[in-house]
Amino acid sequence: MGATQRPTIKTVAARAGVGRTTVSRVLNGSPLVSDEARAAVQAAIAELGYVPNSVARSLVTSRTDSIALVVPESESRLGSEPYFSAVIRGVSGGLAGTQIQLLLTLVRDRRELDQLTRFLTARRVDGVLLVSVHRDDPLPGLLEELGVPTVLAGRRSPAESLSHVHSDNVDGASRAVRHLVDRGRTEIATITGPLDMDVAHSRLRGWREALRDAGREADESLVAPADFTEEGGRAAMRVLLERRPGLDAVFVASDVMAAGALAELRGHGRRVPDDVAVVGFDDSIVARHTDPPLTSVRQPVEEIGRTMTELLLREIAEPGSARRNVVLPTSLVVRDST
Amino acid sequence: MGATQRPTIKTVAARAGVGRTTVSRVLNGSPLVSDEARAAVQAAIAELGYVPNSVARSLVTSRTDSIALVVPESESRLGSEPYFSAVIRGVSGGLAGTQIQLLLTLVRDRRELDQLTRFLTARRVDGVLLVSVHRDDPLPGLLEELGVPTVLAGRRSPAESLSHVHSDNVDGASRAVRHLVDRGRTEIATITGPLDMDVAHSRLRGWREALRDAGREADESLVAPADFTEEGGRAAMRVLLERRPGLDAVFVASDVMAAGALAELRGHGRRVPDDVAVVGFDDSIVARHTDPPLTSVRQPVEEIGRTMTELLLREIAEPGSARRNVVLPTSLVVRDST
DNA sequence: CCCGCGTGTGGGAGCGTTCCCATCAGGTTG
DNA sequence: CAACCTGATGGGAACGCTCCCACACGCGGG
């Protein structure tokens, strides 16, 4: 009622005294339009407040001008929230200047996975960014099969066939351990992420390599796997203290787990850093507020999001181009826990 | 190449030996279909792996089956990140079981606002969830004008005309202050959020009312406005200590600001809670890790997101129905800072 | 016996674009 | 001066769906 019908390309054409096609050409920046026609069309568009109907465009071009960021629920629940929003910010930044919209899809159960599958099969998005990949995640394979352009944050394994972006986890972990060695620590344990994730393996490898290079012990009894949660970090710390009561340092594969480890250490009367030094990973907001503030390996999360987006846009623009992967550098932020 | 063309409704119709319309009716759950026809169509759909093209549907129905969550960049940058992801989780939960997709739109500058305006004008979404509303935010008015179904988290003012959901900020703040009074504190200051946001006013009002009810002083010199950032909280704390060196408690309108206040108090040699008790707001992940852990007013953020979504879906389904607003209860989580 | 009605069905039109092709003017070439 | 090209233009068709309408059928009632 009241509001007059939204103008279509036809209205604009009539107003400008040209054909539909010419309007379309102006809209899409074709050079095959005379200056006067272009001016007339632009004037008409302005007068009518015309906004093209992108649904109609999608129908014929079969592009949607949107991408999906897919997040397995576990990821967002398990305290990695700062990571999550930084990625979003990066993605959004990478999309700035394009007309491309971002869809956010949390997948928390089988039903939602099926729904997502249908959605992807229907080609409702031009591409997918996938965060938090586990070794036998079905989604990457599905995406590959469907031929949907995809970029992963992280990888299923070192042999990942899809494009992906991640930070240099091995080097970051090594840095952390070298720092502990430099501080004179001798019995350096580690708490890892879930070992069905490559990121956990890489950080573990960094720990191993740094210890080996320093000629220190890298015994399995110094390794306790956890699940990236605070409670998990706490439990792993308990196990380590039992197994290796003499340990004087721990490299923890995430800040949130490190927070749990700190609590457990406190519970056992160990002083940090005097008795035990602790390094986390992520340099998230948590690291600044623990007691004591946590030395942590900083990874450029926002940049990961931005880079993923760039790779994805390229893959969409040039289908069939080679898969790429980008490794971004980490750095160590030293605080009071070491 | 290779991959055979995706089936359309026509393919299905041919396979099932019925007309396009009958297939469409089955797809849309119309009762005017014979059982045999329905069975034939469903079989054909299964055999062909047919997935309806929702873009084509959108073109004719002019519904998009998607909603947008609009987040002004300030909000997501300024440490409210846990809030942000909890809202997303709630929204996503509210959408579960529907076929509706969530678009995430960060608006960080004028250009992006214009782009969003065009997007909304083009009716690319069925409705909008808007988070972090400031008093003279142009967006709510625009949405109202466009007649796009909208639900806000928070409100522009107590006279908000759009549907909105928020927690009971006045009551939450009062709770916090009553708790401080119960602990025997006598000189209770407050650090507020930005005063162009209703949420900041409400929490300030809660502080005032609780003090008045307890017969305590609620002088303006006890009020220091900040901006929801850690640094802002720190600066406000500094001002308060200068103005009211005898203060023995502070109610801070967000955990992140409270973290800043704690740091400043420590810098001045004040012990928490012995010399000064501190209460935050949000009960975010930060509150659990500050030193000491922060007593905080918990608000059900995920539920806010879910409720917003429910209101929005209803508003989309019944256009022109009355605007609603929902106020959700808060609770106090007591930790070591009081 | 015919009309009317309700149920099930299918074809045509249309949603607002883009793309393919035909057309046309004007200039260049042989 | 005819044949040709090149740039600018517009109309038809198509994208895949939903909706409107027409129609066929069987049945009950006047």
Contact B262, B337 (CB under 8 A): yes
Query: What is the layout of strands, in order, in the sheet containing A277-282?
Result: A223-225, A188-192, A249-252, A277-282, A295-298, A331-333
Decide which of A152 and B84 is more confident: A152
Measuring from the CA of residue B61 to each C1' atom, give the nucleotide at the shortest distance. Answer: D18
- B6 neighbourhood in chain A, CB within 8 Å: 123
- CA of B74 vs chain A CAs: smallest distance (Å): 11
Using a CB-CB cut-off of 8 Å, the residues of chain A touching B121 are: 49, 51
Q: Find chain B residues with C-beta within 8 A of A102's C-beta.
A: 103-105
Q: Is B73 helix (H, G, I), strand (E, B) or coil?
A: helix
Q: How far apart are CA A91 and CA A302, in angstroms?
A: 8
- Which structure tokens are listed for B223? 């009020």
| Residue in the block written with tokens 């990571």 | A83
Q: How far apart are CA A92 and CA A95, in angstroms?
A: 5
B80 plus B226 within the same structural domain:
no
Flag whether B80 is in a domain: yes
CA→C1' distance for A6 and C26 (Å): 39
Residues 6+ apart with CB under 8 A from A143: A120, A128, A130, A150, A162
Residues of A in contact with B102 (CB under 8 A): 103-105
> Which residues from 267-306 of A have any strand D atom under 7 Å from their CB?
none
From first CA to last CA, the distance across chain A in angstroms is 68
Contacts across the A-B interface (CB distance below 8 Å): 114
Does B102 contact A102 at a Cβ distance shorter than 8 Å? no
Q: pLDDT value at position A73? A: 77
pLDDT of residue A320: 84
Q: What is the dihedral of CA B106, B110, B111, B115, to 10 degrees?
A: 60
Q: How confident is the model at residue B304 (pLDDT cuts 50, 70, 90)?
A: very high
Task: Give DSSP secondary structure letters for B8-47.
Answer: -HHHHHHHHTS-HHHHHHHHTT-S-S-HHHHHHHHHHHHH
CA gap B73, B88 in Å, rounded = 15
Give yes or no for residue B273 having a pLDDT over 70. Answer: yes
Cα–Cα distances in angstroms (integers) from residue A317 to residues A99, A129, A183, A272, B5, in the given order: 14, 15, 50, 52, 21
**Residue B122 to chain A, least CA–CA distance (Å):** 6
Which of A76, A96, A290 has the CB atom closest to B289's CB atom? A290
- Inside any domain, residue A80: yes
Determine which of B81, B117, B278 to mutate to test the interface with A (most A C-beta atoms within 10 Å).
Answer: B81
Residues 173-212 of B with CB under 8 A from A: none
d(CA B124, CA A58): 12
A60 touches strand D (CB under 7 A): yes
Statement to judge: residues A205 and A151 lie in one domain: no
pLDDT of residue A77: 54
Q: How far apart (Å, rounded) are the C-alpha atoms in residues B162 and B311?
A: 11
Contacts by A153-162, CB closer than 8 A, 24 or more apart: A153/A87, A153/A129, A153/A304, A153/A305, A153/A308, A154/A197, A154/A198, A154/A199, A155/A198, A155/A325, A156/A198, A157/A198, A158/A198, A160/A198, A160/A325, A161/A323, A162/A323
- Read off the pLDDT of each residue in B86-100 and give the average, rounded to a whole number: 93
In-domain check, residue B210:
yes
Res A74: pLDDT:
66
First CA to last CA distance, chain B = 68
Range of the structural domain that residue B155 is part of: 66-165+301-327
Q: Does A98 lie at the interface with B, CB-CB under 8 angstroms?
A: no
A261-270 LR contacts (CB < 8 Å, sep 24+): A261/A191, A261/A233, A261/A234, A261/A236, A261/A237, A262/A290, A262/A291, A262/A294, A262/A337, A263/A230, A263/A234, A264/A233, A264/A234, A264/A235, A264/A237, A264/A238, A265/A237, A265/A241, A268/A241, A270/A241
Residue B75 has pLDDT above 80, yes or no: no
> Same structural domain for residues A179 and A272?
yes
The minimum CA-CA distance between A289 and chain B, rounded to whole Å, is 5
pLDDT tens digits for B20-74? Answer: 999 999 999 999 899 999 999 999 999 999 999 999 999 999 999 999 999 987 6
| CB-CB contact of A78 with A228 (8 Å) | yes
Judged by C1' against the alpha carbon of B10, the nearest nucleotide is D16
Q: Does A33 or B1 have the greater pLDDT score?
A: A33
The answer on A24 and A71 residing in a single domain is: no
Supply the CATH number for residue A45's domain: 1.10.260.40
Q: What is the CB neighbour count within 10 angstroms for residue A186?
A: 13
Cis peptide before A140 (omega within 30 of 0): no
Q: Is the CB of A22 under 7 A from strand D?
A: yes
Domain shared by A158 and A224, yes or no: no
- The arrangement of strands across the sheet holding B277-282 comes to B223-225, B188-192, B249-252, B277-282, B295-298, B331-333
pLDDT value at B77 more than 70? no
Query: Position B38: which residue type?
Result: R
In a domain, residue A334? The reply is: no
Task: Give the Cα separation of B115 and B186 in Å (integer).
Answer: 51
Query: Hey, is the C-beta of B65 within 8 angstroms of any chain A C-beta?
Result: no
Please give the Cα distance from A228 to A268 (Å, whole number). 21
What's the distance, CA A193 to chain centroid? 16
A61 belongs to a structural domain: no
Number of structural domains (chain B) is: 3
**Quick one: tokens of A68?**
């999906």
Distance CA B323, CA A146 (A): 43
Q: Are residues A73 and A222 in the same domain?
A: no
In a shared domain, residues A50 and A118 = no
- B211 plus B140 within the same structural domain: no
pLDDT value for B72: 85
Quote the pLDDT of residue A43.
95
Residues A249, A158 share a domain: no
**Are B96 and A118 a contacting pair at CB < 8 A?**
no
Together in a domain, A89 and A152: yes
Interface residue of A69, A76, A85 to substitute, partner B, most B CBs within 10 Å? A85
Task: Find and list the nucleotides of strand D having atoms within 7 Å of a protein beta carbon.
Answer: 7-12, 14-20
Q: Measure CA to C1' and name the residue nearest C13.
A: B60
The CATH number of the domain where B280 resides is what? 3.40.50.2300
Contact B102 A103 (CB under 8 A): yes
What whole-number distance in Å separates Cα of residue A23 and Cα of residue A37? Answer: 9
What residues of chain A, 25 to 44, have a C-beta less than 8 Å from chain B? none
Q: Residue B328: what pLDDT?
A: 98
For residue A171, give the H/E element and its range. helix A169-182
What are the residues whose beta carbons fall under 8 Å from the beta carbon of A12, sequence distance 6 or more? A23, A41, A44, A45, A48, A50
> Do the domain assignments include residue B48?
yes
According to DSSP, residue A17 is labeled T
* pTM, 2 dp: 0.92
Q: In the predicted model, what is the mean pLDDT of chain B?
A: 93
- Measured in degrees and rounded to the nearest 5, phi and psi for residue A260 equal -65, -40
| Beta strand B331-333 pairing with B295-298 | antiparallel
State the nearest Cα–Cα gap between B89 and chain A, in angstroms.
8
Q: What is the DSSP letter of A321?
A: P
- CA distances (Å), B177 to each of B188, B204, B232, B251, in order? 8, 11, 21, 7
Identify nearest nucleotide to residue A9 by CA to C1′ distance: C16
Say if residue B320 is exposed, middle or buried (CB neighbours under 10 Å; 0-12, 13-18, 19+). exposed
Does residue B333 belong to any structural domain of this protein?
no
pLDDT per residue of chain A (338 residues) written in tens, 0 to 9: 334 678 999 999 999 999 999 999 999 999 989 999 999 999 999 999 999 999 999 999 999 999 999 998 765 454 556 788 889 999 999 999 899 999 999 998 899 999 999 999 999 999 999 998 899 889 999 999 999 999 999 999 999 999 999 999 999 999 999 999 999 999 999 999 999 999 999 999 999 999 999 999 889 999 999 999 899 999 999 999 999 999 999 999 999 999 999 999 999 999 999 999 999 999 988 898 888 999 999 999 999 999 999 999 999 999 888 999 999 999 999 999 99
Do A211 and A97 fall within a single domain? no
Question: What per-residue confidence (pLDDT) applies to A291?
Answer: 86
List of B residues 45-84 with CB within 7 A of strand D: 52-53, 56-57, 59-61
Q: Give B81's contacts in chain A (Cβ within 8 Å).
A: 81-82, 85, 285
Please tell me whether residues B134 and B110 are part of one structural domain: yes
Do the domain assignments include residue A13?
Answer: yes
Q: CA torsion angle for A311, A314, A316, A317 (degrees, to 10)?
A: 180
Q: Which residue, among B81, B122, B128, has the nearest Cα to A6 in the 3D structure?
A: B122
Instruction: Enumerate the residues of chain B whose CB falls inside 8 A of the CB of residue A49.
Output: 121
Q: CA B7 – C1' C11 distance (Å)?
A: 20
